[in-house]
Amino acid sequence: MTSVWDSVLGQDRAVDHLQHSVVNPVHAYLLVGPEGCGKEEAARALAGVLLAGNDDNSDRNNDMAVRGTHPDIHEVKREGASILKDQAEEVIKIASTTPKEGNRKAIIMHEVHLMQPSAAARLLKTVEEPPTGVFFVMLAEQVDESLVTIASRCMTIHFGPLDPAVIEHVLTSEGVKLDVAAVAAKSAHGSLTRGRLLAADKQLAHRREFFANIPRRIDGTGATVAAIVEQILSLIDDSVAPLQQRHEQEIVDTEKTLALMGVKRGGKKALEDKHKREIRRFRTDELRNGLTEVASVYRDELARNEHIHRPEGYVTAIHRLHEAMRRLGLNVNEAILLRDLIWSLPSPSADAALQFVLEGSHE
């Protein structure tokens, strides 16, 4: 017998907590972890087990839960930039209705870290004391101040970023070539979602090589710095293409769904806002990956060459690179940040030439 929990990869500790909890289930669960870590799959598996009373993957309840088609498992996703009070009211209505099958229902709420305080306040009583047979499974990337009260009413299960080996295994099992899967997994920051996007990105290896060569291109001239920055931004623009293609398909699918429901307008603006945020996050991750490659060049040079003329300059460069990675999360101007950063970096080629001259003068 295969288990419904088998759909949750690389999260053995979290799954073990959930398996023990369903013996005597609580009324509300909060699954916390980064995007693409497997908490969505875990939420559906948990909901299925709560309704089925077992974890048999062939059980009808579990099968429909994993596929997202169970009539008594309701998945709630924000309709705008955040979950508003009106949407919280809808959740309360869903909780109050009688299950269509059996005597239990589960409500999976996505991205509750983006729930407005007014919505959280409206939902609190229902989460704290839901109708008999109703279970809440909430998903969040982090627990901030606005979510603390809701979290206190839930059993919280933490999910970490996926190990690159897990992502690589999944990608190869899906037909991705081993070398491509390895590079994508390493750059995925523990997110299988991001790993799949990168695996479809044919320019990933080229970008990594480009960033690794940046220190060797630095020659102390503003023209070279400007050219490097322009090329970086062009490469990052190109890297977003697979994600934009997915977004275009989402818009088409949403419009079809709205048409079937007889809704002429609604949801498209919210979807576009969501897409903008996803693109911004993707660009930031790609830039951070690239700057990590640059930092590794200086780190390797320090380890390899004990005769570097000014090793403190390399240490400073590594610190500056990591500070730039941090600042990318503050919605800074990418071009200005990159220009100032690259202008400040030392040139290993120039240092090697200077070292050669100095050694020759001592002979």
Same domain, 17 and 102: yes
Residue 353: per-residue pLDDT: 43
In a domain, 30, yes or no: yes
Q: According to the model, what pLDDT value does residue 81 have? A: 57
Q: Examine residue 359 and state whether it is found in any structural domain, yes or no.
A: no
150 and 216 assigned to the same domain: no
The H or E element that residue 76 is part of is strand 73-76
**Range(s) of the domain holding residue 120:** 4-160
> What does the pLDDT read at residue 248?
87
* Pair 64, 122 in one domain: yes
Same domain as 242, residue 101: no
What digits encode the pLDDT tens for the residues 205-238? 788 889 989 999 998 899 999 999 999 999 999 8
Answer yes or no: do 287 and 180 share one domain.
no
pLDDT, residue 90, reads: 93
284 belongs to a structural domain:
yes
Q: Which residues of the chain are modeled with pLDDT < 70?
A: 1, 79-81, 257-258, 261-268, 270, 350-363
Residues 6+ apart with CB under 8 A from 236: 283, 286, 287, 290, 334
Residue 140: strand pairing partners: 32
Q: Are residues 77 and 137 in the same domain?
A: yes
Task: Identify the CA nearest to 115 among candidates 142, 135, 95.
Answer: 142
In a domain, 169, yes or no: yes
Q: Are residues 333 and 304 in the same domain?
A: yes
Please tell me the predicted confidence (pLDDT) of residue 357. 39
pTM of the model: 0.64
If asked whether residues 35 and 125 sit together in one domain, one would say yes
Per-residue pLDDT, 356: 41
Q: Which of 131, 160, 189 is the last residue of a domain?
A: 160
| SS3 category, 99 | coil
- Please check whether residues 183 and 286 belong to one and the same domain: no
Residue 363 domain-assigned (yes or no): no
Residues 137, 10 share a domain: yes
Cβ(72)–Cβ(182) below 8 Å: no
- DSSP string of 247-274? HHHHHHHHHHHHHHTT-SS-SHHHHHHH
Residues 111 and 52 reside in one and the same domain: yes
| Mean pLDDT for the chain overall | 87
Q: What are the backbone angles phi and psi of residue 31, rounded to the nearest 5°?
A: -100, 120
Report how many domains make up the chain.
Answer: 3
**Is residue 362 one of the residues assigned to a domain?**
no
CA gap 363, 114 in Å, rounded: 67
Handedness of CA 116, 107, 156, 14 (dihedral sign): negative
* CATH code, 109: 3.40.50.300
What pLDDT score does 247 carry?
Answer: 87
